[in-house]
């Protein structure tokens, strides 16, 4: 298998982009990635697009053809990838395989979601479709409710506190203020999180990711050719994907995501690295408990210690292992299909030393963690800067 590198990255601002269409967003993100790679006139071989549900959010299916057309890339093969919130991460994995296998040389991996063109109730209904319809959605279990079950169990087993979970939101909002592309540019306090309206106990409004519009794009090339486009290629050295049950009640544990652990194991093995080798990570924090469980399952701390290490500052930008310097899903925003690609954009910027005020010092190895739904799918990528 050929070694694969990111040579161009781009994304739109995340937020409630009522004046920007679905088509405009993907063109904007793609154009920025192409310009970043200096690829004017270069032949792109294929495109993979992560998108959860354009059919429900904008009533448009067959978006792969639509995007290839409006990006000016037709007739190249363009494939839509759907894996709930992990759609973007899986699109990146498929693009990496396409380049690594030698089938294509230059491949675009993109992600997009336009979620605010429908009313809030319709957005929630769309999001509920990626849970178990018969055993969860039918009885009214929303995603905050499912993660609230995980939070309660984590609190029961390990003594995790609501204050520790609130600190995840505080940290990620702080980081988002330093990111021009982020949805939320406001600092929040632990007290504000704890006093915000309850969504599903113990989770409050300021602990859950927002409804968001946005698109992100990366361009992949063989590492041996990457320096034609960039002075600092970012190699994808590890990748892993795994699945688990959709319904929580069928799982072995509410505080372990088996899909994350198995995807991470595969990615570390492929990269020949260990969790302690990682300098920073972008992980799924659709709720605050999500980040705490993620850093445990990725091996960054022992199971049950995620809340404590957050409280101790390990996960801050200037901590021992910065988590979500972009602001994460909570601060940056969570346009479902774009999230996994946007995570890769952030890691590339960090490893290239181009993250501005949120730059992590001496960053050489980064990791992204993207899960679908409550953990039915997980995708983990590991990146290394090639000087």
104, 184, 334, 381: the catalytic one is 334
Residue 226, CA distances (Å) to 73, 98, 180, 350, 383 in order: 21, 16, 27, 18, 14
121 CB burial (10 A radius; 0-12, 13-18, 19+): exposed
User: Alpha helix locations (H) across the chain?
Assistant: 22-37, 54-57, 63-70, 87-100, 120-128, 143-158, 162-176, 190-195, 258-271, 288-297, 306-311, 328-332, 339-351
Active-site residue flag, 185: no
Q: Is 57 helix (H, G, I), strand (E, B) or coil?
A: helix
| Number of other residues whose CB lies within 10 A of the CB of residue 156 | 11
Q: Which residues contact 72 (CB under 8 A, 6 or more apart)?
A: none
Given the residues 85, 200, 208, 301, the one annotated as active site: 85
Residue 85 annotated in active site: yes
Q: Is the peptide bond prior to 202 cis by the omega test (within 30 degrees of 0)?
A: yes
Taking the C-alpha atoms of residue 369 and residue 285, their distance in angstroms, rounded to an integer, is 10
3-state secondary structure of 272: coil
- Residues annotated as catalytic are 85, 334
């Amino acid at each position: 298998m050929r070694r694969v590198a990111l040579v161009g990255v781009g994304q739109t601002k995340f937020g409630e982009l009522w004046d920007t269409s679905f088509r405009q967003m993907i063109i904007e993100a793609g154009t920025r990635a192409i310009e970043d790679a200096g690829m004017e006139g270069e032949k792109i071989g294929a495109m993979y697009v992560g998108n959860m549900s354009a059919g429900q959010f904008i009533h448009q299916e067959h978006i792969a053809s639509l995007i290839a057309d409006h990006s000016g890339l037709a007739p190249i093969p363009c494939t839509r990838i759907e894996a709930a919130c992990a759609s973007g991460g899986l699109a990146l994995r498929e693009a990496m395989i396409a380049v690594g296998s030698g089938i294509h040389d230059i491949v675009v991996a993109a992600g997009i979601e336009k979620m605010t063109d429908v009313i809030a109730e319709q957005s929630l209904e769309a999001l509920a479709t990626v849970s178990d319809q018969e055993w969860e959605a039918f009885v009214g279990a929303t995603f905050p409710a499912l993660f609230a079950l995980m939070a309660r169990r984590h609190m029961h087993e390990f003594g995790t506190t609501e204050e520790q979970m609130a600190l995840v939101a505080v940290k990620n909002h702080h980081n988002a203020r330093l990111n021009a592309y982020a949805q939320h540019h406001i600092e929040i306090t632990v007290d504000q999180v704890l006093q915000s309206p309850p969504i599903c106990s113990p989770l409050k409004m300021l602990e859950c990711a927002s409804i968001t519009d946005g698109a992100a794009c990366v361009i992949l090339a063989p590492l041996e050719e990457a320096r034609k486009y960039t002075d600092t290629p970012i190699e994808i050295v590890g990748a892993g994907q795994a699945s688990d049950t959709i319904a929580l009640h069928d799982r072995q544990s509410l505080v372990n995501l088996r899909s994350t652990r198995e995807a991470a194991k595969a990615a570390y093995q492929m990269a020949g690295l260990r969790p302690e080798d990682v300098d920073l990570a972008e992980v799924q924090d659709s709720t605050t408990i999500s980040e705490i469980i993620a850093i445990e399952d990725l091996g960054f701390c022992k199971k049950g210690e995620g809340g404590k290490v957050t409280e101790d500052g390990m996960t801050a930008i200037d901590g021992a292992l910065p988590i979500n310097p972009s602001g994460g899903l909570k601060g940056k925003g969570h346009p479902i299909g774009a999230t996994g690609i946007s995570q890769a954009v952030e890691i590339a910027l960090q490893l290239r030393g181009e993250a501005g005020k949120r730059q992590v010092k001496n960053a050489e190895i980064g990791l992204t963690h993207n899960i679908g739904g409550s953990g039915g799918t997980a995708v983990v990528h590991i990146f290394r800067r090639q000087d």
